[in-house]
């Protein structure tokens, strides 16, 4: 059976375990798992879930960084009909309380230590505060009232193996498989529910667009609560039968060493990761000869980054791809193409991938002609099932014809390529004129000393709103307000030029690599009061 015919996530583990049981599937540090071992461990974890009493539709949560247990617990949850949730160990206790309280998992699996930090107090607090947790398992030394994860799944069980296969046979493609919380960049995080079908149907397209195959070796260092880990990189490698190499977190030099050591052929990052690597002398000494694909998303890439990557690809024959997507649509839905020029990679996020659909619409959801800025609407089998516990939020963004209104603004050119101009909620009016912050941010980021920028609309007595620009220079570089103002004046209409510039050594960033505008909003409130 070809991978196109399989419709449940864990089916792909079983397919490759049968086709090539000895081939390498998962790598974390010195632990290398074959496809055969992947399936065997997945099934033991799934049987442990059944022993705990996990029912179809329950949630299973993993508090961990990217490591082998990530995909093992994720695929096992799918096989018993549970919905898997990844939790970032960098989250504060309050952030974990919110997501666990909202999702109410039956099982919590947690690493005892993360980057040298002992999570015992966090694990204990969560166990004591949430009595709906049937079991808390710890990867490492258990705390009071918990058990060691490995010991628990290795325990002999009286239930026959047939019980697992009976449960697995009950799972359908439209059953819930994955829960991811939105980044919370503009409000309280919402739990996005995906099914086996929405994951599989999206990644069937991605493995083609990203040229993923059995020989692919992917580097994954995103947090496990990120769509790039759960779907775009993680599940794409599983579907295609490639190998996944995990790192607990992104480290510029460590990632470069891993690319060489593990013979990585594909890796995806947000632009800031590439830029931080390019600041290291090791970057230009790294052997990228095996890398066939370097991908990015989440933010626009500066020309410097694309120029450097273009030079590498010209020598190695590798390619660069970017695109557009979101948690709600299970990752990328638009892609640039192999061979697209630098200008296209710099300014666009590619075009919609068939059989998916995309249109640009006005405030009344009427389709706009090419070249006009409007809201991106998409439709396809990648669509999320809903927001957990928030049916009214789903009704606000999805119409009866299946179109999802993203709140992202863009325009489309004659080729169908889209250029992102910002978020609908970020657009502001100054003196009656519409201003799109992303347009200004792109100008600011052309300055060779600027790493990041964020432009915000701020209330003004005369103009209704004016723009304030927050700028983060490149490490070791300096830039002045006068330089930035003159740059904007040379490229933009006067009403778009920010009225104030704040130059900061560090801006608040989300795990996705985007600037946290929610954090900046709070800062602006304080500045306006002072």
Tens of pLDDT, residues 176-221: 999 999 865 445 789 999 999 999 999 999 999 999 999 999 999 9
Q: CA 270 to CA 226: how far, in whole Å?
A: 12
Q: CA 520 to CA 510: how far, in whole Å?
A: 12
Closest CA relative to residue 518, chosen from 441, 456, 430, 444: 456
Which tokens in the block code for residue 383?
């669509």
Asked whether 115 and 98 are in contact (CB, 8 A), the reply is: no
351: enclosing H helix or E strand: strand 351-352
Tens of pLDDT, residues 244-301: 999 999 999 999 999 999 999 999 998 878 988 998 999 999 999 999 999 998 777 8
pTM of the model: 0.87
239 pLDDT above the threshold of 70? yes
**What SS3 string covers 427-456?**
CEEECCEEECHHHHHHHHCCCCCEEEEEEE
Torsion sign (Cα): 421, 426, 432, 435: negative
Domain with CATH 3.40.50.980 in the chain: 3-197
Max CA distance (Å), the chain? 75
68 pLDDT above the threshold of 80? yes
Q: CA 352 to CA 361: how far, in whole Å?
A: 15
pLDDT given at position 273? 87
CATH architecture of 427-529: 2-Layer Sandwich (3.30)
Tens of pLDDT, residues 23-44: 999 999 999 999 999 999 999 9
Question: Domain 3-197 belongs to what topology?
Answer: Rossmann fold (3.40.50)
Instruction: Read off φ and ψ for residue 72, nearest 5 degrees.
Output: -60, -50
Task: Classify each residue of 191-213 as buried b or exposed e, where b means 16 or more C-beta atoms within 10 Å of its C-beta.
Answer: bbbbbbbbbbbbbbbbbebbebe
Write the CA distances from 264 to 95, 183, 216, integer angstroms: 34, 28, 8
Q: CA 247 to CA 231: how far, in whole Å?
A: 16
3-state secondary structure of 207: helix
Mean pLDDT over each residue of the chain, to the nearest integer: 93
Closest CA relative to residue 173, chosen from 11, 397, 379: 11
pLDDT given at position 237? 95
Closest CA relative to residue 330, chosen from 278, 279, 378: 378
For 249, half-sphere exposure in the C-beta direction (CA atoms, 13 angstrom radius) is 10
143 pLDDT above the threshold of 60? yes
Asked whether 54 and 80 are in contact (CB, 8 A), the reply is: yes
pLDDT given at position 511? 62
pLDDT given at position 187? 57
Domain 250-423 falls under CATH 3.40.50.12780: yes
Domain with CATH 3.40.50.12780 in the chain: 250-423
Closest CA relative to residue 356, chosen from 381, 373, 339, 374: 381
Task: Classify each residue of 226-247 as buried b or exposed e, where b means 16 or more C-beta atoms within 10 Å of its C-beta.
Answer: bbbbbbbbbbbbbbbbbbbbbb
Asked whether 81 and 171 are in contact (CB, 8 A), the reply is: yes
Q: CA 182 to CA 186: how far, in whole Å?
A: 10
Q: CA 36 to CA 16: how far, in whole Å?
A: 8
493 pLDDT above the threshold of 60? yes
**What SS3 string covers 16-83?**
HHHHCCCCEEEEECCEEEEHHHHHHHHHHHHHHHHHHCCCCCCEEEEECCCCHHHHHHHHHHHHCCCE
Q: CA 320 to CA 297: how far, in whole Å?
A: 11
What DSSP state is assigned to residue 299?
S
159 pLDDT above the threshold of 80? no
pLDDT given at position 1? 41
Closest CA relative to residue 106, chosen from 148, 48, 36: 48
Which tokens in the block code for residue 150?
């490995």
Q: CA 483 to CA 486: how far, in whole Å?
A: 5
What DSSP state is assigned to residue 99?
H
pLDDT given at position 510? 74
412: enclosing H helix or E strand: strand 404-412
Tens of pLDDT, residues 502-529: 999 989 887 666 788 888 988 998 888 8
């Amino acid at each position: 059976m070809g991978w196109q015919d399989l419709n449940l996530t864990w089916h792909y583990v079983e397919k490759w375990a049968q086709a090539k049981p000895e081939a390498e599937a998962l790598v974390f540090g010195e632990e290398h798992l074959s496809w055969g071992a992947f399936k065997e461990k997945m099934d033991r974890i799934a049987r442990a879930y059944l022993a705990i009493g996990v029912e179809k539709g329950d949630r299973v949560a993993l508090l961990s960084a990217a490591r082998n247990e990530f995909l093992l617990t994720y695929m096992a949850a799918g096989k018993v009909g549970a919905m898997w949730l990844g939790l970032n160990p960098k989250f504060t206790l309050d952030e974990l309380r919110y997501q666990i309280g909202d999702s109410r998992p039956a099982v919590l699996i947690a690493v005892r230590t993360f980057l040298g930090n002992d999570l015992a107090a966090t694990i204990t607090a969560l166990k004591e505060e949430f009595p709906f947790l049937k079991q808390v398992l710890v990867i490492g030394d258990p705390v009071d009232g918990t058990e060691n994860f490995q010991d628990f799944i290795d325990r002999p069980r009286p239930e026959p193996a047939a019980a697992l296969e009976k449960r697995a046979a009950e799972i359908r493609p439209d059953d819930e498989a994955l829960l991811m919380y939105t980044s919370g960049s503009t409000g309280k995080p919402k739990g996005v529910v995906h099914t086996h079908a929405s994951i599989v149907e999206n990644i069937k397209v991605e493995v083609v667009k990203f040229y993923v195959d059995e020989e692919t070796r992917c580097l994954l260092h995103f947090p496990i609560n990120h769509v790039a880990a759960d779907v775009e990189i993680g599940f794409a490698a599983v579907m295609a039968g490639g190998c996944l190499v995990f790192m607990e977190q992104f480290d510029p030099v460590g990632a470069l060493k891993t690319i060489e050591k593990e013979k990585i052929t594909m890796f995806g990052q947000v632009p800031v990761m590439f830029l931080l690597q390019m600041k290291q002398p090791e970057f230009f000494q790294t052997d990228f000869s095996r890398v066939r694909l370097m991908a990015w998303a989440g933010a626009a890439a500066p020309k410097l980054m694309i120029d450097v990557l273009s030079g590498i690809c010209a020598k190695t024959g590798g390619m660069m791809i970017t695109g557009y997507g979101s948690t709600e649509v299970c990752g990328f839905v638009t892609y640039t193409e192999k061979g697209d020029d630098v200008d296209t990679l710099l300014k666009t996020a590619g075009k919609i991938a068939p059989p998916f659909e995309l249109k640009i619409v006005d405030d009344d959801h009427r389709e706009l002609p090419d070249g006009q800025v409007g809201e991106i609407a998409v439709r396809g089998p990648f669509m999320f099932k809903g927001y957990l516990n928030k049916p009214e939020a789903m009704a606000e963004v999805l119409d009866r014809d299946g179109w999802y209104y993203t709140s992202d603004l863009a325009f489309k050119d004659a080729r169908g390529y889209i250029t992102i101009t910002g978020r609908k909620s970020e657009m502001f009016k100054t003196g009656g004129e519409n201003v799109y912050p992303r347009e200004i941010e792109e100008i600011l980021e052309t300055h060779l000393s600027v790493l990041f920028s964020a432009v915000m609309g701020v209330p003004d007595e005369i103009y209704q709103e004016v723009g304030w620009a927050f700028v983060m220079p490149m490490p070791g570089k300096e830039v002045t307000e006068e330089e930035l103002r003159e740059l904007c004046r040379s490229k933009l209409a006067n009403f778009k030029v920010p009225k104030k510039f704040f130059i900061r050594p560090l801006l608040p960033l989300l795990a996705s690599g985007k600037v946290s505008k929610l954090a900046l909003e709070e800062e602006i409130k304080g500045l306006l009061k002072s």
